[in-house]
Structure 1
Amino acid sequence: MSGNPQLGVIATLRITPTPVRHLLAGVFINQLGAFVQTFLVLYLAFRGQSAGAAALCLAAYSVGAIFGTMLGGELTHRVGARLTIVTAMAVAGPTVWLIPWITHTGVLPALMVVVALAGLATQAYRPAAAVMISDLMPEEHQVMAFSMMRTALNLGAALAPLIAAGLILVDWDLLYWFDGATALLYAAFAFFVLPRAIGLTPDSEPETGAAPKATGREVYALLVRDSRFLCYLAAVFLGTIAYTQSTSALPLAIVAEHYPAALYSAVLTVSSLVVILAQLKITTYVTRLPKTVAVGLGHLIDSIGLAVLVLAAWWGGIFVIGVVLSVGGLMIAGPNMFAHPATFHPVVKARYIATMQSVAGLATTIGPLFGVLTWHALGSPFWLLCALINGVAGVLAVLALRGTAEPAPALATETAGESS
């Protein structure tokens, strides 16, 4: 934790560099049209594809997204954040536009390839955006900056379904025309307003005249020996598995308890409003706490919220209470968890960020399948299992965030014979 006094939301916004504001605006614009994954199953069903074909395409998107984040980290390290964002979004736009055309042909293998490429391109910008924020924001305000990014993503995600509802009334294909258009708009916006050199490993450092160099293989070899970062990745994986149950097991639980489907919509709406309205304010308090305290407390509250859901058979309002508690815990733990990979040395930062995002993507892919199968096997006690999984994630996160992350000096010693 920095020795500098922590600023409130408005004060932090005022000192936020203009390029960071531009980046957040671009993230928001892109998220307004992020329809591929969210509406893919519904779109394919409307176009006459089978449930099995839709599931295969959704899996293809998830696989593409996982590799996309890794590719984005590598590109950010090699060509910089701005060019990575521009390239990823410029490729994403036309690729997404191909989805309706390929769907109408009825050729499933071709559709799966296009959807996988769309997943790869649409997710490749995320490591670059994270690196740009970490490089431009002062260290003492980085947690708040990443919280701002999460808010921009959540606000876009909350408004996107409203836009989608209007587009569907006209033509389902407009979903992907709009999605591709927002990606291209983000690409153009990034090309003209974002700084050029962010994310590139510097060619020299004042102290030594040469920065430590490292290949991707050397960085990943260091990563797998970094026990604390492996704990962090395990925490991200388990925590994301628990988080995904809000969209997989939760609707099953509501239906199983014979509550109206509208309750699920109400729960999602309330949780979205809580995140949008409270995330930044909560982050101002979180930044005053030691990282381990904030992360541990957040996971504890999140686990309590999940455990409370076991009582939902008594009263439907328990679903709202449990999800709000769970979201509250995420808002407390999330900023430091999300910002952690950006605290590493520039030599490894982009690849560490990409690895974290890929692990989260893998958990997002596995989580719904785990949730559906386990819910049907256990019933309501499933939520106690989720609380336990999330609690283990909290313990691992606390272990991971103790002290300062400094893998770069060891890497420099191994690869360049230097010490920091």
Structure 2
Amino acid sequence: MKKTPVHPQPPPENDIASESLLQQIRAMPRPVWVLFAGVFINRFGTFVVPFLTLYLTDEGYTAWEISAVIASMAVGGILSTGVSGRLSDLIGRKNTMSIALITGGISMLLMWQAESFSGYLITAFLAGATHQMYHPAASSLMADVVPSARRVTAYAIVRWGINLGWACGMAAGGFLAEKNYAYLFIGDAATSISYALIAMFLLPQGVRTTVKKSRWAPAIRHMIRNRAFVAFFFANLLAVSTFFQWSISVARLVTDLGYEKWVYALIMSANGLLIAIFEIPISQLCRHLNPRRVIAFGYLFCGIGASMCGLASGWLIVFFAMVVFTLGEMVSMPVSGAYIADLAPEKMRGRYNAMTGFTWGVGHGIAPLGLVLYEKNDTLLWLAMLLVGFGSAACLIGPWSQRIR
């Protein structure tokens, strides 16, 4: 008689929760380290979006036109939300990630060849759509392969790869932008396609569901009843606008202060370096605390940090503002990823993560208005960032945000 293989069961959640940082890192399954390597490569080559405002400015486009291109990218991300979440649950996390990364690389090459305003609008839309397809699948795969009590650490490890790649890539991107912007588009495309190949050959598919169970209607009904998720949805919707100002309005601020592009690149590179050094230890301090309050604290500091740019008369104040913002990011991001994984049913994770991605798409779409406001009255922009920080924190600390079991 053929014996059924016995798979070792993971230790109880209480035992996992008491693990040290080193024990948690050692216990991470192989897919986490594959994701770490892939996101490092991909984020190292994320050259185009951080420099898009400066590139289009050098091409002679106005603030309104640049805002329209960035908004087009955001609209692409918003409209792809429905497809990305369902595909992730239906055809598997790996397949969805691979499709998104390959088409994302192609969209960068198409944007490089754009020769008109309409060309930039179309290619930016494609880039936004493919970018949004990736994230729900990757976040869901993490939750599939890592037990709940290790997820904060797992998300911090992957973000370590993201920000280490960002720190190195931004420094390289600033150098390349001074030489020739074409290198940014080619490098961005090459690293996306490289990550797609890594995903295809080395990652598992993750959890899948049936066509019927992958529909959006039951998932939306479940989300609406899940008031903890609703509170997080609106908090994130506010908070993400502060993130995008660093690649839009702050980029202009640094150059308007009289500095070269590489100064902005080094400030943003330092953001990634700080996260790479400190985020994992900070996440260990936070993983035993109330996640709603931790995320609220982080979002508040993101708003405070962004608003401090309004005090800038030189690069040092912008740098200090970035440090405060980065503290908020390090506190909130790993915990928020694990929090959504815990709130979502296993076979709805793709759609839950897609709805979270929807907030990033809306924030991305609204963020270009910050550049227009910056040119009209920059003080109002930085004040708005402060109010956004307080507003996002308020969404998470009220009784309406508590989880109903």
Name the TM-score, length of structure 1 as normaliser: 0.79
Report if the CA contact (8 A) 1:298-1:333 is conserved.
Answer: yes
- Amino acid in structure 1 at the alignment position of 2:370: F
Alpha-carbon separation, structure 2, partners of 1:304 and 1:37 = 24
Q: Check if 1:341 corresponds to 2:340.
A: yes
Report if the CA contact (8 A) 1:291-1:401 is conserved.
Answer: no
Alpha-carbon separation, structure 2, partners of 1:42 and 1:250 = 11
Report if the CA contact (8 A) 1:68-1:122 is conserved.
Answer: no
Q: Check if 1:162 corresponds to 2:171.
A: yes
Alpha-carbon separation, structure 2, partners of 1:342 and 1:238 = 20
Name the TM-score, length of structure 2 as normaliser: 0.82
Q: Check if 1:391 corresponds to 2:400.
A: no
In structure 2, the partner of 1:94 is 106
Alpha-carbon separation, structure 2, partners of 1:44 and 1:259 = 18
Report if the CA contact (8 A) 2:177-2:184 is conserved.
Answer: yes
- Amino acid in structure 2 at the alignment position of 1:3: N
Alpha-carbon separation, structure 1, partners of 2:219 and 2:180 = 47
Q: 1:376 to 1:400 in 2, by over 3 A?
A: farther
1:30 positional shift: 1.6
Alpha-carbon separation, structure 1, partners of 2:281 and 2:374 = 36
1:68 positional shift: 3.3
- Amino acid in structure 2 at the alignment position of 1:396: C
In structure 1, the partner of 2:145 is 136
For residues 369-409 of structure 1, the C-alpha deviation after alignment (integer angstroms, 9 at most, x for no partner) is: 13651684472x75454323212211212348965576xxx
For residues 18-64 of structure 1, the C-alpha deviation after alignment (integer angstroms, 9 at most, x for no partner) is: 11211221122122222332333444556x56346554433322221
Q: Secondary structure at the match of 2:242?
A: helix
Alpha-carbon separation, structure 2, partners of 1:108 and 1:267 = 30
Between the two proteins, the alignment pairs up a number of residues equal to 389
Q: 1:399 to 1:136 in 2, by over 3 A?
A: farther
Alpha-carbon separation, structure 1, partners of 2:201 and 2:149 = 28
In structure 1, the partner of 2:181 is 172
In structure 1, the partner of 2:49 is 37
Q: Within 5 Å, which residues of 2 pair with 1:8-27?
A: 8-27=20-39
Percent identity over the alignment is 24
Unaligned runs of 5+ in 1: 204-211, 407-420
In structure 1, the partner of 2:196 is 187
1:71 to 83, 91, 94: 83
For residues 94-118 of structure 1, the C-alpha deviation after alignment (integer angstroms, 9 at most, x for no partner) is: 33323333x2xx3543443233222
Report if the CA contact (8 A) 1:22-1:193 is conserved.
Answer: yes
- Amino acid in structure 2 at the alignment position of 1:181: A
For residues 100-139 of structure 1, the C-alpha deviation after alignment (integer angstroms, 9 at most, x for no partner) is: 33x2xx3543443233222212331111000000110111
In structure 1, the partner of 2:208 is 200
- Amino acid in structure 1 at the alignment position of 2:44: L
Alpha-carbon separation, structure 1, partners of 2:197 and 2:264 = 38
Q: 1:293 to 1:170 in 2, by over 3 A?
A: closer
In structure 2, the partner of 1:149 is 158
Q: Secondary structure at the match of 1:213?
A: coil
Alpha-carbon separation, structure 1, partners of 2:387 and 2:37 = 37
Unaligned runs of 5+ in 2: 1-12
Report if the CA contact (8 A) 1:8-1:281 is conserved.
Answer: no
- Aligned-residue Cα RMSD (Å) equals 3.4
Q: Secondary structure at the match of 2:209?
A: coil
- Amino acid in structure 2 at the alignment position of 1:113: I
Q: 1:179 to 1:405 in 2, by over 3 A?
A: farther
- Amino acid in structure 2 at the alignment position of 1:238: L
Q: Secondary structure at the match of 1:22?
A: helix
Report if the CA contact (8 A) 1:239-1:393 is conserved.
Answer: yes
1:180 positional shift: 1.9
In structure 2, the partner of 1:291 is 291
1:283 positional shift: 0.4
